[in-house]
Structure formats: C-alpha cells, structure tokens
Chain A
Amino acid sequence: MSGKPKLHYFNGRGRMESIRWLLAAAGVEFEECFLETKDDLTKLQKDGSLMFQQVPMVEIDGMKMVQTRAILGYIAAKYNLYGKDLKERALIDMYVEAIIDLNELLMTHTFQPADKKEQHFATIVDKATNRYFPVYEKVLKDHGQDFLVGNRFSRADVQLLETLLMAEECKPDILAKFPLLQSFKARISNISTIKKFLQPGSQRKPPLQEKDVPKLMKIFH
C-alpha cells in the first residue's frame, strides 16, 4: 500500500517542522526527501507533484498533499488529535491558528535585515507574552486539566509545545511569568512519542542559522 508518509522540503524547520512534530507525536514514522538546490525544487514543480508549485509537500495515503494547514488538519483527524466533536474542533482550531501566527513571527526572525532585527525581536516578545501566552495560561488555569481541549491530548498541545520551545530559543526566560505553561511544557515533553522526538538523532530540525540563509534563498528565489 502507501507505506510511510514522505516529506518534501529543505533540510530545515520552516513550514514543515509543525508537520514533523505532529507525525512524531502521533507515533507515525516518516521519510524525508530534502531539497538541496533550486534544481531539486524545479524538478518537483516540473513533474507536477506540487499543486501550487510550492512546498511543503507530503506524500500520504496516495495523495501528494500541499498547504501546511491542509496537511496538519488531515494528520490530526486521521490520528484522533482533533477533538471529539465540532465544538472541540473549533476550540482547537482557534488555539492552533493563533499559535501559527506566533510561529510565523518566530520563523521569520532569522530573515530580518540587520536594522529591523531588534524591533522584530521586541515584537515577538511583546506578542508572545501579552497576546498569546496569557490566553493559554488562562485556559489551563480555568479547567485545571493537563491538556488544552477536552481533557485529552490533541494537536493543540503538540503545536503549543513546539512554539513554547521555539520562543524559549528566542528568549530563554520567556515563560517566567507563566507557571502553568512551564508545567505544561514539562508534562507534554514527557509524553513518550514527544520525548523521543526531543532527543538527539530524531528528525527534529535545529533552528535556522544565519549562515544557512543564503543557501535557502538560492533554492526558493
């Protein structure tokens, strides 16, 4: 049949990292095909594998799926990480969309021109600590449960953990004022599939270094 999902992207986090996280958390083994040069991307575009000529692309269950959100939604539903009904799904979607917004800020930090970097950093910290983290801290406080939605592990928990860790890479004490997020982080990190993903040697990718940016620009521009 179809075998393991196969991920097509460059050898870095970017928009594919959330997909790696979700598959790993669900205990799904996957393969990766890395784009190293512009020709690699052009080849995929020319052989009709990329619906809108873009990556991420994930070969899964006989489909060549594109569009990060579509891929994440499919994986979450398939592996029962999307709540038990429409309303839980709505809550998960709301939480996840905001996490994606924050992720976008974090992800684009390395690409900022030198004169904009400091301002961008300030924006990240401001939004994370004033707009986003307080919401999740309050959610956990209000229901007192281990997971964000429905007292059950879902994609919202996986994506929040991913973002908390990325935010800490930006500013190590960024969770200082959020005790429940700190314990959430520890708790979710300890889930066996996630614990495995967090260990060296897993398919988790390191943060983008400035020195890698030129190579990336060559592939995508």
Chain B
Amino acid sequence: MAGKPRLHYTKGRGKMESIRWLLAAAGVEFEEEFIETKEDLEKLRTDGVLMFQQVPMVEIDGMKMVQTRAILSYIAAKYNLYGKDLKERAWIDMYVEGTTDLMGMIMYLPFQLADTKEKNLALIIERATTRYFPVYEKALKDHGNDYLVGNKLSWADIHLLEAILMAEECKPDILSAFPLLQAFKGRTSNIPTIKKFLQPGSQRKPPTDEKFVAIVRKIFNI
C-alpha cells in the first residue's frame, strides 16, 4: 500500500526541514530523494509531479503533496499532533505561524549579501527576543503545563523547538531571558523520537553554508 513518505527536496534545510522534524517527532520513517542539479528539478517538473512546479513535494498516502503548510497540516492531523478540537487547533495554528515567520527570516539569512545579512541578523535577534519568544514564554508561564496547547504534545511544540535551536545557532545565548523556554527546550529535546532526530546520523540537515548556497542558487536559478 502506501509505504513510507518520500520527500523531494535539496539536501539542505530550507522549507522541507520543518516537515522532517514533524515526521521524525511523530515517529514516522521517511525516505528522501535529493535534488542535486538543475536537471533534477527540471525532470520533476516535466514529469508533472509538482502541482505548481515547486518543491517541497512529499509523496504520502497516494498523494503527491506540495505547499509546505498543506503538508505539515496533513501530517499533524494524521498523527494527532493538531489538538483535540477547533479551538486548540486555532491556538496551534497561531503559534505555528509565529514560529514560521521567525524561521523564515533565519532561513534566508545565508542567501543575503554581507551588509544586509548583518542588519537582518540583528533584526532576527530583536524579533526573536521581543516579539516571538515572550509569547511562548508567557503561554508556558500562564498554564504551567509542559506543552504549549492542551497539555499534550502538538505540532506547536515541535515547531517551537526547531525555531529555538535555529535561533540559538544565530546567537547561542538567545534564550538567556527565557527560563521557561530553556526548560521547554530541555524537556522537549528529551522526547525519544525527538532525541533520536537530534543525534548525529539522523535525517536532520545541517545549517546552510556558503558552499550550499551556491548549489541552491544554481538549482533554483536565484
């Protein structure tokens, strides 16, 4: 029947990384087919398997899913990481959109020119510490539970952990004013499926370096 989900993307983080995180956290094994050259991308396009000519694309349950959020929502719902009702789902969506905005900023950093890069790094740190992290710190403080929503692990927790680790790569002490997020990070990292994903040899991808930026520019013509 369906087999393992199969991910089509480059061998880097980009927009696929949150999908890898979510599948891993849900304990779902997946395969990956890497786009290494412009020709690989062209082939996927001419094969007609990319609905809008774009990746990420994930083959899952007989579908060739595209659009990052669509894929993430499907996985979250399928593996019970999307809350128990409409309202919990609303909260999860709000939190996830926040971490998506933050991670989006970090994702584009390696692609920027030196002077904009410095400015944007400062902006990322400012946004992280004054706009985003305070929200999650307060959420954890207000209810005192281990997880962001409904006292149960959800997509929002997994996404937040991913964002925290990415932000720490930008500035290692970025959580210094957020004790509850530090505890959250320790706790969530220890969940067995996530712990496994955080170990060397997993399918988690490293931060994007200059060499990889050049490859990505060639593949996507940007």
Contacts and interface: CB of A to CB of B under 8 A. Distances in A.
B93 A87 contact: no
B63 interface: yes
Interface of B: 51-53, 61, 63, 65-70, 73-74, 77-78, 86-87, 89-90, 93-94, 96-98, 101, 131-132, 135
Interface string A58-86: 00010101111110011001100000001
A93 B70 contact: yes
A94 B64 CA distance: 10
A6 interface: no
Contacts of B97: 67-70
Contact of B94 (A51, A53, A94): A51
B52 A131 contact: yes
Contacts of B131: 52-53
Contacts of A65: 90, 94
Chain B contact surface mostly? helix
Interface string A84-96: 0011011001101
B70 A86 contact: no
A135 interface: yes
Chain A contact surface mostly? helix
B129 to A, nearest CB: 13
A94 B66 contact: yes
Give the bracket for the number of chain A residues in contact with chain B. Answer: 20 to 34
Contacts of A61: 87
A121 interface: no
A78 B82 CA distance: 16
Contacts of A178: none
Contacts of A93: 67, 69-70, 73-74
B132 A74 contact: no
Contact of B93 (A73, A89, A90, A132): A73
B74 A86 contact: yes
Contacts, number: 75
Contacts of A69: 69, 93, 97
B86 A94 contact: no
B77 A89 contact: yes
B61 A52 contact: no
A97 interface: yes
A70 B90 contact: yes
A75 to B, nearest CB: 10
A217 interface: no
Contacts of A97: 67-70
B23 to A, nearest CB: 15
B73 A89 contact: yes
A28 interface: no
22 contacts: A51-B135, A52-B98, A52-B101, A52-B131, A52-B132, A63-B87, A65-B90, A67-B97, A67-B98, A68-B97, A73-B89, A73-B93, A74-B90, A86-B77, A90-B73, A90-B74, A93-B74, A94-B70, A96-B70, A97-B69, A101-B52, A135-B51
A69 B51 CA distance: 21
Contacts of B67: 93-94, 97-98
A132 B53 CA distance: 10
B86 A78 contact: yes
Q: Please provide the 7 A-B residue pairs with the shortest distance between their CB atoms, ordered closest to farther.
A: A93-B70, A70-B93, A67-B97, A97-B67, A94-B70, A70-B94, A74-B90
Contacts of A74: 86, 89-90, 93
Contacts of B52: 98, 101, 131-132, 135
